[in-house]
Amino acid sequence: MPAAGQTAAYYRMTGPDGVICLPLTARGDIVMVRQHRASLNTDTLEIPAGSIDGQEAPALAAHREVLEETGYDCGEIHLLGTGRFYPNRLIQREYMYLGLDAHPRADAGVEQGLAPVLVPRSEFLGFCMDEAVDQTAIFFLIGLTTTRFGVDLLRAPIDEIRERFGAA
């Protein structure tokens, strides 16, 4: 902490709020996206995420990001919570969602350079142990769902997850 009357240098990135969505298919597979990240100079395996456009509702942004990045359409989107991943650097608020009944949509165009990857939930922890998943936010979403909603997204039967979120 700086001395009285002095200020310390800090860095802050500004931008629009964002969304991140963990989509599950009707079978319970996680819909992920493989994409190149120039900042890392490598491909990453992530769940769909992106900025909220203008006055767009966060739930609509989550739905749109899943569709644009994977070509999958979520039958339902459920808000898990909001927060800031790096409050020491970023001012953006992130809206975290669970997508249910994700299915490929024939007329959807996936953004260039992105590829959808279906990961069975039973294999997801293996991907993590092999460090194949770089996006740490996914772990927060899984933990948040367990803590706040009392359901284990990696082990609970998909019908239990759907029931817990009141899925049709």
Three state DSSP letters for 111-135: CCCCEEEEECHHHHHHHHHCCCCCC
DSSP 8-state secondary structure symbol assigned to residue 75: S
Q: What's this model's pTM, rounded to 2 decimal places?
A: 0.89
79, two tokens? 């808000």
Structural domains in the chain? 18-164 (3.90.79.10)
Q: What is the pLDDT along the chain (168 residues), one digit of tens a residue?
A: 667 777 777 777 778 889 999 999 999 999 999 988 888 888 888 999 999 999 999 999 999 999 999 999 999 999 999 988 766 777 788 999 999 999 999 887 778 888 999 999 999 888 777 777 778 888 889 999 999 999 999 999 999 999 999 866
Q: What pLDDT digit, counting tens, does each position of 3-50 carry?
A: 777 777 777 777 888 999 999 999 999 999 998 888 888 888 899 999
